[in-house]
Amino acid sequence: MVFGWVLKMISIKSKAEIELMKKSGEILAQALEKMKESVKPGVTTGELDRIVEDFIRSNGAIPSFKGYKGLPGAVDYPGSICASVNDEVVHGIPGLRELKDGDIISVDIGVYLNGYHADAARTFPVGNISEEAQKLIDVTRQSFYEGIKHAVDGNRIIDISIAIQDYVENNGFSVVREYVGHGIGKEMHEAPQIPNYRTRERGPRLQPGMTLAVEPMVNTGKYFVKLLENKWTVVTADGSLSAHYENTIAITDAEPIILTKI
């Protein structure tokens, strides 16, 4: 989830706080594994939502997204996941939509436990998908890893951004501009913003204790998007496929730690 928030001072986390975030992240990573098993032709996005909410709550945690306040005039977010299918970039609302063979679905999940959030997303194939769709999923995932190679003490946010954009565009795809990654911790959305493309501003210098949600959103077509009437769901303007890959990471004095993995 990537909007409806106000920037504040960057929060530097202690090692104890990062350990708490790691516990949220472990539950989230397990929820994503459940999605990997559950995504198949015939399942509805609402059923996926119920699977995730039940799992998160059974582990004593809370779905971060449920009830989240969005843009003025929008209802509070009704789901525990964002379920974005095919040309939906982010914030697809789960419901009665039934997945079909050949679809792709991006599932974005937030988990809140012991006062700290974790945030991560994956794009899954539904049955047999096209070569282009599989390449999109693979490139989007790898662009995240290309980006976090630069998520080290002393670098700046733009070093992550450039690496993501260059990798995506060298593979023939485009990076969404309107929606970006973010800091995370006690709040779901904290400073700083983390664009997936070059900006005029270099962004703050990275330092140990910063916790970030890095989340490339990649389209097979052009990078332009539009917001649907529900004021949540974002789709590609040209109807092209879109994929999303995200993890919560912690900056250290060495390599970054991915907090949303088992």
pTM value? Answer: 0.96
**Which residue in the block uniquely carries the two structure tokens 């993890």?**
247
Q: What is the pLDDT of residues 177-194, one digit of tens each?
A: 999 999 999 999 999 999
Strands 104-113 and 81-85: antiparallel
* Nearest partner of 45 among 103, 6, 5, judged by Cα: 103
Q: Per CATH, which fold does 15-258 belong to?
A: Creatine Amidinohydrolase (3.90.230)
- Supply the pLDDT for residue 4: 41
H or E segment to which residue 168 belongs: helix 157-170
State both tokens at 36.
């990997």
How is 169-193 classified by DSSP, letter by letter?
A: HHTT-EE-SS--EEE-SSSSSEEEE
Looking at residue 247, what is its pLDDT?
Answer: 98
pLDDT score of 31 more than 60: yes
Q: What is the pLDDT of residues 120-141, one digit of tens each?
A: 999 999 999 999 999 999 999 9
Angle subtended by helix axes 157-170 and 131-148, to nearest 10? 160
pLDDT bin (cut points 50, 70, 90) of residue 1 is low
* Cα end-to-end span (Å), the chain: 21
C-alpha torsion sign, points 71, 76, 82, 83: negative
User: What is the distance between the alpha carbons of residues 242 and 238, in angstroms, rounded to a whole number?
Assistant: 11
Residue 6: its pLDDT value, please? 40
